[in-house]
Amino acid sequence: MIRAAVLLALCVAAAPALATDLPSGFVRLADLAPHIAQDIRYARAFNFTGAPVPGYDRESCILTETTARALIRVETQLAQQGYGLVVFDCYRPIRSVLVFADWAAQSPAPPGGPPSQQTFFPDLARGDLIPLGYIARQSGHSVGHTVDVGLRRADQPPARPDWADATACTAAFDQRYAETGLDLGTGFDCFSPLSAVAADVTPEARKNRRILTRAMQAQGFTGYAAEWWHFRNSADPARDRQDFPVN
């Protein structure tokens, strides 16, 4: 029995790494901070493409460990003010970035499917998204140091909207599909000038954007002027873009 147990242990030790193992330096945020809310939008259908995105095998925020720990510090700081984060996207495989670009190049959109234009880019045509810079063929998300996040009240989980809730992402807060109980001026991934950090949104939305931006900046994140939700960890060393699946 002892010999059999030893042989079994040796076999397990010699077994190849599981397909779900991550490259060195990457972690799943939930393993370090399960209290940080996640609504990984591209793993489900409620996103601008109208379908789960290839490369996202499950709803999971994957980041470099350096960036994950910085995000945990942001959450800790926000909790002291009665707020918390909701994470919409983290590491993004190269294949998924290319899916976005190929999807955007299909203009006009094929008939049928969810009304993604009316929801996520109500004032633009699908063919405008690449020329206007809303979609590109490379992304810092593929490095693992870039995150898309929103702000929530600490005692309020994210609403996880779906197509049954869909309205224009630019609609007034009380008419827009709910993501959290706080107004950030637009929904996440809203392709509109109103998504710019300095856009003319309501005073409440400006206040909430400031709270989010200041907390992220305090832990080394740099924002992106055109998207209030997009932040890169400036302290995370540069590395190659990756293409392993989100699992």
Helix, strand, or coil here: 221? Answer: strand
What would the pLDDT profile of 117-164 be if each residue is shown by its tens digit? 999 999 999 989 999 999 999 999 999 999 999 999 999 999 999 999
Beta 227-233 vs 146-153: how paired, if at all? Answer: antiparallel
Please, which residues bridge with residue 149 across strands?
A: 87
User: Roughly what angle, to the nearest 10 degrees, separates helices 203-218 and 65-79?
Assistant: 130
Alpha carbon distance 244, 170 (integer Å): 33
Prediction pTM value? 0.90
Alpha carbon distance 25, 159 (integer Å): 31
CATH number of the domain enclosing 209:
3.30.1380.10
Domain-embedded: residue 164: yes
CA-closest candidate to residue 198, choices 188, 185, 211, 187: 185
Helix, strand, or coil here: 128? Answer: helix
**What is the pLDDT confidence band of residue 111, given thresholds at 50, 70 and 90?**
low
CA-closest candidate to residue 148, choices 158, 163, 77: 158
Alpha carbon distance 144, 67 (integer Å): 8
End-to-end CA distance of the chain: 37
Domain-embedded: residue 44: yes
Domain-embedded: residue 47: yes
Domain-embedded: residue 245: no
**What is the pLDDT confidence band of residue 106, given thresholds at 50, 70 and 90?**
confident
Q: What is the DSSP letter of 246?
A: B
Domains in the chain: how many in total?
1
Alpha carbon distance 211, 81 (integer Å): 9
Domain-embedded: residue 14: no
Give the pLDDT confidence score for residue 13 in this predicted structure: 36
Domain-embedded: residue 20: no
Domain that holds residue 94: 35-233
Domain-embedded: residue 18: no
Task: Count CB neighbours of 174 within 10 A.
Answer: 7
